[in-house]
Chains A and B, each alone.
Chain A
């Protein structure tokens, strides 16, 4: 798994919101097929890391290589075409679009995506509501829709920002199962998660962030040894 070059390599990434310096040199790597989780308290810069990778934050420095290509210079709308899909924290479901329209909104960027029918097989309750406006869905359904619409596009890698946030435990389980399915299909996932229990079940590796930096990285196997550190940093 870790033999080849990483699919995504981030080195020395800095980012700013206006004058707020949010990232202070983030380094991380994600290999093809892996699920990696970014841990950290509120406000340490997890979301910012994902947004900076996508190019949603303009004011950034450092290096981001994806599949051997430099993402730093691409215009925003070309990034996705390299094969990265983004599921934002606030989900980004469009109120003026129906579920169906939300689902087919992101353009297909590569072969190998799921068809709409396959997606509906995976999420039967979305199919039921395919004609309602996107934001009429419950939070959990919206989260599913936000993930589902990236599956059509054929991306190699998903950036997921707190997919379980605000969701009831049952739905969290469903999403956990979904991530497992995706992983089996070979999807690479970079996950940001506050819900440590959930993260520990789906991830292969972890990065721990503090103050806009990655302060530690370890595989799932080392988890028990790391509990003390996590306790201190995350308060868990």
Chain B
């Protein structure tokens, strides 16, 4: 059998694929964070909680209303997005003129409340969310058994990431967004309702988190804890990527997913540290991040 670094090439490929799947979640989450940060200058600490919220909304839709996975895929981002819009209107919009740290602290509080509420009502051991029948089972790829659902997650996340990227890079709404990132006052002087744009952006970022949540539900337990540890890793991803570009956030997400996947094979004990170690190295070599512009 062919070997790479002492392990069979097939296992190696399998692990790469698994890393890519994790990278999909990192990419989707860091993308949402980057979109929000880019325009609002708010580090959305509640991003992890909104991801968890998305998974729970999916679960509740299923158990209480009998709404299954496919409609939930549309409904969940909508609901979480509307939630984001409300949060932005009621609270975040009051904080823009202040030090960005207040945005961070507010969303931190929000994250605690969201997590606390779900913990209180649904406990912590998690709730089941079955893989939709259409995607049940798996495919033998020769080098590994790939659960169909995971294949779908990779595809879906690629679609979402590049869809968002295209939305922002290729459409009129996107050109408002990008222009407003550069010079919000001027764009507003042109007659664009920038405050509304900010609201929608936060909504969009939240919706992305919610979507990641419902995509994650059939893989991970739907649990109030699912977001809080993940978010710190995603922060590190964002620091590594830098806040320069949407594409940067996406690419870094996938890259670090792969790096983590490889660590899980060669030195699994450190797989939770690898992202942080990469972060430290990047900070030393390129303080603005891989894709970031000088602040």
> Which residues of A pack against B, CB within 8 Å?
54-56, 76-81, 85-86, 88, 92, 94-97, 101, 104-107, 109, 153
Contacts and interface: CB of A to CB of B under 8 A. Distances in A.
Interface in B135-194: 172, 175-176, 178-179, 181-183, 185-194
A86 B192 CA distance: 13
Contact of A77 (B172, B178, B181, B191): B191
Contact of B192 (A55, A56, A77, A92): A77
B189 A80 contact: yes
Nearest to A109: B191
Interface residues of B, number: 19
Contact of B187 (A95, A96, A101, A105): A105
Given A56-B185, A76-B185, A92-B183, A105 B175 contact: yes
Given A54-B189, A105-B190, A153-B191, A94 B182 contact: yes
Contact of A97 (B175, B185, B190): B175
Contacts of B190: 80, 85-86, 105-107, 153
A95 B175 CA distance: 11
A76 B179 contact: no
A88 B189 CA distance: 10
A148 B194 CA distance: 22
Interface string B188-215: 1111111100000000000000000000
B181 A55 contact: no
Contacts of B194: 76-77
A96 B192 contact: no
Q: State the majority secondary structure of interface residues on A.
A: loop
Contacts of A86: 186, 189-190
A107 B191 contact: yes
Contact of B179 (A77, A85, A105): A105
A109 B189 CA distance: 12
A81 B187 contact: no
Nearest to A95: B182
Most buried by B among A77, A80, A81, A85: A77
A142 to B, nearest CB: 14
Contacts of A88: 186
Contacts of A106: 190-192
Nearest to B182: A94
Contact of A96 (B172, B178, B186, B195): B178
A85 B176 CA distance: 17
Nearest to A101: B175
A95 B245 CA distance: 13
B96 to A, nearest CB: 14
Contacts of B172: 104
**Residue among A56, A85, A101 with max Cβ neighbours from chain B (10 Å):** A101
19 contacts: A56-B186, A76-B188, A77-B193, A77-B195, A79-B191, A80-B190, A81-B191, A94-B179, A96-B181, A97-B178, A101-B175, A105-B175, A105-B187, A106-B191, A107-B190, A107-B191, A107-B192, A109-B191, A153-B190
Q: Among A78, A81, A86, A96, which residue has the most Cβ atoms of chain B within 10 A?
A: A96
B108 to A, nearest CB: 30
Contacts of B193: 77
Given A77-B194, A104-B172, A97 B179 contact: yes
Given A104-B172, A105-B175, A105-B176, A96 B182 contact: yes
A95 B178 CA distance: 9
A80 B191 contact: yes
A76 B182 CA distance: 17
